[in-house]
Amino acid sequence: MKKKFKGIYYALFFAFLSSCTAENKNHLTPIFNGNDLKGWHIIGGDATYRVDNGEIIGTTVANTPNTFLATDSTYTDFILELDFKTDSVSNSGVQIRSNSFPWYRDGIVHGYQIEIDPSRRSWSGGIYDEKRRKWLSPLEGNEAAQKSYKPNEWNHFRIEAIGDTLKTWVNDIPAAHLIDDMTQEGFIALQVHSIGKKGKPGVEIKWKNVELITENLEEYSKSSPLEPIITKNQLTFQEKKDGWQMLWDGKTTEGWRGAKLDSFPKKGWEIKNGELSVLATGGGESTAGGDIVTEKMYADFEMKTDFKITEGANSGIKYYVDTELNKGEGSSIGLEFQILDDQRHPDAKLGSHEGSRTVGSLYDLIEADTAKHMTPIGEWNTAHIVSKNNKVEHWLNGVKVLEYNRGSEEFLKLVSESKYKDWPNFGLLQKGNILLQDHGDLVSFKNIKIKTYE
């Protein structure tokens, strides 16, 4: 009788657990039907995907780039759960809020990736920024999450993307907690990684039980005990490794002064909510607070910043600036990455060289690629300037829009035909200040960073 009673007890107990599990997951909706790949499409390389026994099976193929099986639909805020299985060496991942745009590197898939990492490093559940900023939230120091992944067995991901907060769990162990606002919407995708010359073709990565919720997220969201990694006005994990430094701390005026002052302007600029903004004062050039410059001077460098414009706005980022030039009215003199609302500001149709005053251009000298992409007014863009050994590149939103060589015959000819022709040695300084321009329009900056090559 005791054995019979014990058997009934365990049966009831496990039935109770199963019912609880079903009840806890009944808010999730499958986005893979278990039978075919309807609602999904392949992007990127030539790796293959098929459905077998209710599983999506991706297979590695030699001599092909990363291949993704992406949802036809895009998603903003959601909670995603799925099971996955791979061998002990094949790197993979789950893309979220990812995109493939024709203007971005010929349509390459880019966005947040929840890593599947069966290597000794064991960073499964970490957050990698595919084809953009690389590692954002690795699993360094998170031994519990590193040990939770089971090679050659089925594992479970829980992924929350709500607002600017991304959280992950691997087999119910908290793995990553990231606060980042670069992308709010995109598809979900499963990755078969490129395998290189040493990789093995024919290796399978499997996924099943791919389920999602997009409503009442606050009710189902879980708290994470992990200290969040915040990227706003901070260096990312990868940037620290690569030698970047913050050029603005996100809070104070430290490291900056007025271009024609010994201190920071007392009017015309505002620091609020981690944003450095030049205020609207009627559109005049350096007539309010005036331009601001770095206290340090830079030779070979990379500089990047996020910027946000308002309707009809004009501003710019200048480099190799000599603040001793032009002590009179107007802006300080230097090479300029133009910031402009091309659709509404008349400057877009002016300039010594056609198109050379449009956004991303080398102001008044070289037009930015007309295939460039700007986000809608009020959303953030990223400017990136690279200057090494007199070769200069302008990048806008991750895409190179122009390049030139300082001091080259072509460069000197362009200068001689421009508004800068009367300034001796224009653009040829060995080092100079970096400047953010006051042109009387509301423009905001954040994430201002620099990497030097001295």
Closest CA to 317 of 371, 259, 249, 266: 259
Q: Is the dihedral of CA 202, 205, 209, 214 positive or negative?
A: negative
Tokens of 449: 């960073």
Sequence-distant (6+) residues with CB within 8 A of 403 are 391, 392, 393, 394
Can you give the residue ranges of every domain in the chain?
24-225, 243-452
Percent of the chain at pLDDT > 70 equals 94
The domains spanning 24-225 and 243-452 adopt the same CATH topology: yes
Whether residue 408 is predicted with pLDDT greater than 90 in this model: the reply is yes
The amino acid that residue 179 corresponds to is I
DSSP-derived pairing of the beta strands 134-137 and 256-258 = unpaired
Q: What are phi and psi of 361, to 5 degrees?
A: -75, 160
CATH number for region 24-225: 2.60.120.560
Measured CA to CA, the distance from residue 394 to residue 305 in angstroms comes to 12
Label residue 181 left, alpha or beta by phi (over 0 means left) and psi (-120 to 50 means alpha): alpha
Q: How many CA atoms lie within 13 A of 193 on its CB side?
A: 22
Copy the structure tokens of residue 303: 């500089």
Are 318 and 334 in contact by the 8 Å Cβ rule? The answer is yes
Residue type, 349: K
Could you tell me which of 246, 209, 123, 111 has the C-alpha nearest to residue 166? 111
CA distance to 134, 207, 401, 444, per residue, from 110 (Å)? 10, 21, 19, 25
Q: Give me the amino acid identity at 58.
A: G
Mean pLDDT, residues 177-198: 92
Q: What is the mean pLDDT of residues 301-310?
A: 98
pLDDT tens for 6-49 read 444 434 433 443 444 434 556 789 999 999 999 999 999 999 99
Give residue-wise pLDDT tens across range 350-405. Answer: 988 999 999 999 999 999 999 999 999 999 999 999 999 999 999 999 999 999 99
Cα 18 to Cα 286: distance, rounded to the nearest angstrom: 69
Residue 151 contacts residue 142 (beta carbons within 8 Å): no
Q: Provide the whole-model pTM.
A: 0.90
Q: The domain 243-452: what is its CATH number? A: 2.60.120.560
Residue 334: CB atoms within 10 A of its CB come to 29
Note the pLDDT tens digit of each residue in 210-226.
Answer: 999 999 999 999 999 99
Residue 299: DSSP 8-state: S
Stretch 320-346: mean pLDDT, rounded?
90
pLDDT band at 5 (very low <50, low <70, confident <90, very high): very low
Confidence class for position 258, pLDDT limits 50, 70, 90? very high
Q: What is the pLDDT of residue 191?
A: 95
pLDDT of residue 63: 86
The answer to whether 168 and 159 have CB atoms below 8 angstroms apart is yes
């009840």: which residue's tokens?
Answer: 23
Which amino acid is residue 77, in one-letter code? D
pLDDT at 62: 87
What integer pLDDT is reported at residue 336 of this predicted model? 97
Task: Report how far apart the first and last C-alpha atoms of the chain are (Å, whole number).
Answer: 83
pLDDT > 50? residue 115: yes
Q: Check residue 30 and give its pLDDT.
A: 93
